[in-house]
Structure 1
Amino acid sequence: MATAHHDADVYYVPHHSKWPFVGSVSLFVLMIGLVTWFNGSDTAFWVFMAGLAMMIYTLFGWFGDVIRESESGKYNGQVDVSFRQGMIWFIFSEVMFFAAFFGALFYVRQFALPWLSGEGHGALANQFLYDGYVAGWPANGPANVGGEFGTLPAFGLPLINTIILLSSGLTLTIAHHAMVAGQRGKVLAWLGATILLGFCFFGVQAYEYGHAWSDLNLRLSSGIYGATFYMLTGFHGLHVFLGTVMLTVVWFRVLKGHFTPEKHFGFEAVAWYWHFVDVVWLGLFLFVYVL
């Protein structure tokens, strides 16, 4: 099958693989652990960790097989098109994922809060809520229920993270141009800078969370504001972490001599993902922190 790379009419079909089955079992164990953890089970944490370990094993094994097949020349132009279409649909699913969360934020701010205020009925609606209710943002319940909390200024840590993430997009673009030019040393340098910036972003966000949780009393229980804040920024932070891990894998692959100026979709796919994460952060910075 090594000649398939040179034959445009041959589409590589892999042999039977255990990874879909192993991955399904891993996800099942992971979700059982997570659900029972939320419900206070004493053993749930270890079930969750076992599922996580199984998922990591699946990812290493499955992607390792794909990398070995690619490097052995089994993939041709048709397979490359399939990978590109698959990545496009994956990013589209991620767009819809975040669109649902942004939609929840907009719905609460533009519709739910005005409706709860009575929409022109003034204080009449307050009898159904509590005295002193104001349809403003950030929204919480009564201070003696949800607790008073502070918000993070946009032009502090969030602005620093915006600069970090936009800079990482620039360094990754330079690394991509170096890849196309066949300058492997520059690829390693600029890709390494991107990885460093990714971990810096994650570190700043971890510090921001600690500050918000302990100093500002901003919790998940802090009304709809706390829930949407941690939901949006938390999932984005998870995407940054996963993207940084993927960039690190690509860096080691470049170091091992993988990819060529003509054939490097593994690099491009991660770059697409990273730029998507950049764009999502701009929306978060504007609608969660600034407005």
Structure 2
Amino acid sequence: MSNAQPGGYYFAPPSHWPIVGSIALFFMAIGGVLLMNSYGVGWIPFGIGFATLVYMLFGWFGTVIRESEGGLFNKQVDGSFRWAMSWFIFSEVMFFAAFFGALFYARVYSLPWLGDIDNKLLWPDFATHWPSSGPYRPPEFSAMHAWGIPAINTLLLLTSGVTVTWAHWALKKGDRQNLIFGLSLTVMLGLLFLSLQIYEYMHAYSELNLKLTTGIFGSTFFMLTGFHGFHVTLGVTMLIVILFRCVAGHFKPEHHFGFEAVSWYWHFVDVVWLLLFVFVYWV
């Protein structure tokens, strides 16, 4: 088995996990295509693929954890992990930038164009105010108020940013008790955020008539908040894994990038929500 030489770089031995992940994604893709074409049997390959993907994630990440705890990673490997996580978060920034760009384009450019004198002949009843569902027989709907659940969720995520930082500082000082307590609070705040967002979606569909099909506002609202909720779910999952590792005695004050990577991701989720609160709910 390859390992880290003194002053050298760690080369991992050949692994079967990439091919297992590829097989999982293949089955999920087949199942997804069948389901999108109304074939109920698509749940079978999709379920097989999802179960295989979960198995791959546990196996692959478990291997990396064992290598890290075994002392095989030096500073050079740590630096490569940091660059990898940095580029991953940058790709996520570009992902959300595309949706924020669509929101900006719809509000600043599309609405004035559709409401000018030429288009008034096509859509005489179209109003250029935001939120708008578009010019084609817009259904009656109401936008979500910023100072209700969204404001509470903002407070929850900002507080969770404080608690995860608290846990990080406790880890640096070797204070395991405050580390575990701070992480536990962060996980609970994240789960509470998700619970409130689920309630918000139910309220939007049942009482506000705000749906994914409600024109440009509905599509941008649910795409931005929905993908953010998905990222919060991933973040909470990673925080739970890190919490279990902390309880098991993993991480040292001088060696804990696994913890740092998750905290970076969580702070990224916080910043995206602040932008969502301002530009989707408030302004």
1:181 maps to which residue? 173
Pairing partner for 2:228 from 223, 226, 236: 236
TM-score by length of 2: 0.96
- RMSD, aligned CA: 1.6
Identify the match of residue 195 of structure 1 among 187, 202, 206. 187
The answer to whether the 8 Å contact 1:178/1:186 transfers is yes
Q: Does 1:245 align with 2:237?
A: yes
Once the two structures are superposed, what CA deviation does each residue of 1:18-69 show, in whole Å capped at 9, x if it has no partner?
1111111212222232233222222223332222212111111110000011
Instruction: Supply the distance in 1 between the matched residues of 2:47 and 2:208 (Cα, whole angstroms).
Output: 31
In the alignment, which residue of structure 2 is the partner of 1:40? 38
Secondary structure of the 2:32 match is: helix
Q: CA deviation at 1:142?
A: 5.9
TM, length-normalised to structure 1: 0.93
Quick check: 1:2–1:73 contact (8 Å CA) kept in 2? no
Query: What is the 5 A alignment of 1:1-291?
Result: 4=4, 7=6, 9-118=7-116, 121=117, 124-128=118-122, 130-141=123-134, 145-291=137-283
Pair 252,29 (structure 1): closer, same or farther in 2 beyond 3 Å: same
- Separation in 2, partners of 1:180, 1:236: 30
Question: Helix, strand or coil: the match of 2:40?
Answer: coil
One-letter amino acid matched to 1:126: K
- Distance in 2 (alpha carbons) for counterparts of 1:139 and 1:54: 42
Distance 1:46 1:218, change over 3 A: farther
Moved more, 259-268 or 19-28: 19-28
Q: Does the CA contact (< 8 Å) of 2:3 and 2:12 recur in 1?
A: no
Distance 2:45 2:194 in 1: 26
Partners of 1:107 and 1:88 in 2: CA distance: 28
- Unaligned 5+ residue runs, structure 1? none
Deviation at 1:140, TM superposition (A): 1.2
| 1:82-127: CA deviation from partner (whole Å, max 9, x where unpaired) | 0000000000000000000101110111111111222xx2xx3122
Q: Secondary structure at the match of 1:4?
A: coil
* Equivalent residue letter for 1:109: R
- Mapped to 2, the partners of 1:153 and 1:40 lie a distance apart of 36
Structure 2 runs not aligned, ≥5 long? none
Give the partner amino acid of 2:132.
A
Aligned-residue offset at 1:3: 7.7
Q: 1:3 to 1:52 in 2, by over 3 A?
A: closer
